[in-house]
A and B are shown apart, each in its own frame.
Chain A
Amino acid sequence: EVQLVESGGDLIQPGGALRLSCAASGFTVNSNYMTWVRQAPGKGLEWISIIYSGGAPYYADSVKGRFSISRDTSLNTLYLQMAGLRAEDTAVYYCARVIRSGQSNWYFDLWGRGTLVTVSP
């Protein structure tokens, strides 16, 4: 079965660090574009990071310099290393697979169930 399963969410103090994992099955992470999207409580979806199939990472301005996306080929797992966490980083974090079809046709075709990160004293 093709699926994504996130883990690692927790209650963490401001300024702390946390690593989220996203285990993929049914397809190969490093052959695809993989992303992280977050959703603050009661709010909309916010794209925060992507790693291209070739390995290049990109970030939204809101997390640039604090978050790092990576992958482990042997474990077929995507990661999000978060540091300098702030209250506004509190959200459900989803990993998702992105399909790139041509120059400007990018869409999320597979989503995980999400993992909750709460940043609070």
Chain B
Amino acid sequence: SYDLTQPPSVSVFPGQTASITCSGQTLGEKFVSWYQQRPGQSPVMVLYQDNKRPSGIPERFSGSNSGNTATLTISETQGMDEADYYCQAWDSSTAALVFGGGTKLTVL
């Protein structure tokens, strides 16, 4: 099976930049999406196709994907960004949609 690895937690001060990584074998050859899940709520997609933002997602959210690592970057982090973030990719070898384990972003 294909595994995506994320750090369990990331902390950032308000106004600073938060970076959340997602690692997987040759991940750069796949497309990665990112989801935000606030406590008690359903996930919401914040990026797709590595770095594209859906309508309504602030420009503060950006992404990159190269080699074995994809990165979600949140600039000018705000308290409302505090949430769990999940990366996701499609594994063609198993025809499975795969999620990373999730990263809890804490805004200090």
Contact = CB atoms under 8 A, between A and B. Distances in A.
Interface of A: 35, 37, 44-47, 50, 58, 60-61, 94, 98-99, 101-109, 111-114
23 contacts: A44-B99, A44-B100, A44-B101, A45-B37, A45-B43, A45-B99, A45-B102, A47-B96, A98-B97, A101-B49, A104-B30, A104-B31, A104-B92, A105-B31, A106-B97, A107-B31, A107-B45, A107-B49, A109-B48, A109-B54, A112-B42, A113-B42, A114-B42
A interface secondary structure, majority: strand
B51 to A, nearest CB: 12
B88 interface: yes
Nearest to B91: A104
Given A44-B101, A47-B96, A47-B97, A106 B42 contact: no
The CB with the most chain B CB atoms within 10 A, among A46, A107, A112, is that of A107
Contact of B42 (A44, A50, A111): A111
A45 B86 contact: yes
Given A58-B96, A101-B49, A107 B42 contact: no
Contacts, number: 64
Q: B interface, how many residues as a size bin? A: 20 to 34
B35 to A, nearest CB: 7
Contacts of B30: 104
Nearest to B6: A44
A108 to B, nearest CB: 6
Contacts of B49: 101, 105, 107
Contacts of A46: 99
